[in-house]
């Protein structure tokens, strides 16, 4: 269960969004929409706790959040399996046996991640989400570079494994994921020049 109340967040010290409120129940998904530069990435990073909020609260079960973006921590000189095992160990969880199959990585399991194509690497990054056992996912454009088939793999994973087990997700994307979920357009929440709380506020 994720509850966001009256959140304002900033990028580079400048308020970008303000007054964002929503709630996502367990087993639910929220899709963030909005034109380039509206602040999706900023919002997701704030939700995941990677940057402090200007004001407002983000509430979800402690130690259950996970953030994933383009930079998904895949090491080029480790194999696919080594990459996944590492993250499983860090999170103290076991790697599910079928996770490679879920993301169609079985034939690639012993390949160095650096030799994967863009889409294959992306699938590996997504497979990490199935390994760390976190319930609250914050995903920034998870399907970049994926072909239609892989997008479906991802949607299936999300629906059948993550949400079915009581997980939830907030996803920023520009494309249609094939998941039936409420959407939130961020355009109305764009911070005006008067938004308070910027780190440079004392100077105005």
Partner 1 sequence: MSIWEYANPKKFMGWTAPLVPWLFGLAGACLIVGLVWGFFLTPDDYKQGSTVKIIYLHVPSALMAINAWFMMLIASLIWLVRRHHVSALAAKAAAPVGVVMTLIALFTGAVWGQPMWGTWWAWDPRLTSFLILFLFYLGYIALWAAIEDPDTAADLTSVLCIVGSVFAVLSRYAVNFWNQGLHQGASLSMDKADHVANVFYIPLLVCIAGFVLLFIALVLLRTRTEIRVRRMSALIARTRPTEVTT
Partner 2 sequence: MIALLIRDLRLAVRAGGGFGLGLAFFLIVIVLVPFGVGPEAAVLTRIAPGILWVAALLAALLSLDRIFALDFEDGSLALLATSPLPLEGVALVKALAHWITTGLPLTLAAPVLGFLLNLDGPAYPWLLASLALGTPALSMIGAFGAALTVGLRRGGLLLSLLVLPLYVPTLIFGAEVVRRGAEGMPVTTPLLMLAGITVGGFALLPFAAAAALRVNLR
Ligand X SMILES: Nc1ncnc2c1ncn2[C@@H]1O[C@H](COP(=O)(O)OP(=O)(O)OP(=O)(O)O)[C@@H](O)[C@H]1O
Contact 157, 15 (CB under 8 A): no
Residue 115 binds to ligand X (criterion: CB under 6 A): yes
Residue 36 binds to ligand X (criterion: CB under 6 A): yes
Tokens encoding 82: 């080594």
Question: What is the number of the residue whose Cβ is closest to ligand X?
Answer: 12
Smaller CB distance to partner 1: residue 81 or 145? 81
Sketch the per residue contact string, 4 through 23, with partner 1: x for CB under 8 A, - otherwise.
--------xxx---------
* H-helix or E-strand spanning residue 174: none
Contacting residue, 1, 27, 55, 82, with partner 2 by CB under 8 A: 82
Residue 11 binds to ligand X (criterion: CB under 6 A): yes
20: Cβ contacts below 8 Å, ≥ 6 apart = 4, 6, 7, 8, 9, 43, 56, 186, 189
Residue 144 binds to its own copies (criterion: CB under 8 A): yes
Residue 117 binds to its own copies (criterion: CB under 8 A): yes
Residue 142 binds to partner 2 (criterion: CB under 8 A): no
DSSP-derived 3-state class of residue 20: strand
Other Cβ atoms within 10 Å of 132 Cβ, number: 17
Contacting residue, 120, 143, 173, 195, with ligand X by CB under 6 A: 120
Residue 78 binds to its own copies (criterion: CB under 8 A): no
Interatomic CA distance for residues 144 and 155, integer angstroms: 13
Residue 45 binds to its own copies (criterion: CB under 8 A): no
Quote the strand ranges of the chain, DSSP E. Answer: 2-11, 14-24, 29-33, 55-59, 65-68, 136-140, 168-172, 183-185
Least Å distance, CB 19 to ligand X, is 16
Question: What is the number of the residue whose Cβ is closest to Mg ion?
Answer: 41
Interatomic CA distance for residues 107 and 78, integer angstroms: 16
Residues that bind ligand X (CB under 6 A): 11-12, 14, 16, 34, 36-42, 115-120, 145
Enumerate binding residues for partner 1 (CB under 8 A): 12-14, 107-111, 193, 198-204
């Amino acid at each position: 269960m994720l509850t966001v109340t009256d959140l304002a967040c900033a990028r580079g010290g400048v308020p970008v969004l303000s007054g964002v409120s929503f709630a996502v129940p367990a087993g639910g998904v929220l899709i963030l929409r909005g034109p380039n530069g509206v602040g999706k990435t900023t919002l997701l990073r704030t939700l995941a706790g990677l940057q402090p909020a200007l004001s407002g609260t983000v509430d979800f079960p402690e130690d259950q959040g996970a953030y994933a973006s383009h930079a998904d921590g895949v090491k080029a000189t480790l194999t696919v399996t080594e990459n996944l095992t590492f993250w499983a160990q860090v999170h103290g969880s076991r790697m599910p046996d079928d996770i490679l199959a879920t993301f169609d990585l079985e034939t690639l399991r012993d390949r160095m991640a650096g030799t994967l194509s863009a889409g294959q690497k992306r699938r590996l990054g997504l497979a990490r989400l199935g390994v760390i056992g976190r319930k609250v996912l914050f995903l920034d454009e998870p399907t970049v570079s994926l072909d239609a088939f892989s997008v479906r793999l991802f949607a299936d994973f999300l629906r059948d494994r993550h949400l079915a087990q009581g997980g939830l997700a907030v996803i920023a994307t520009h494309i249609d994921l094939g998941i039936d979920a409420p959407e939130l357009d961020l355009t109305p929440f764009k911070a005006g020049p008067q938004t308070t709380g910027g780190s440079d506020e004392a100077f105005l």
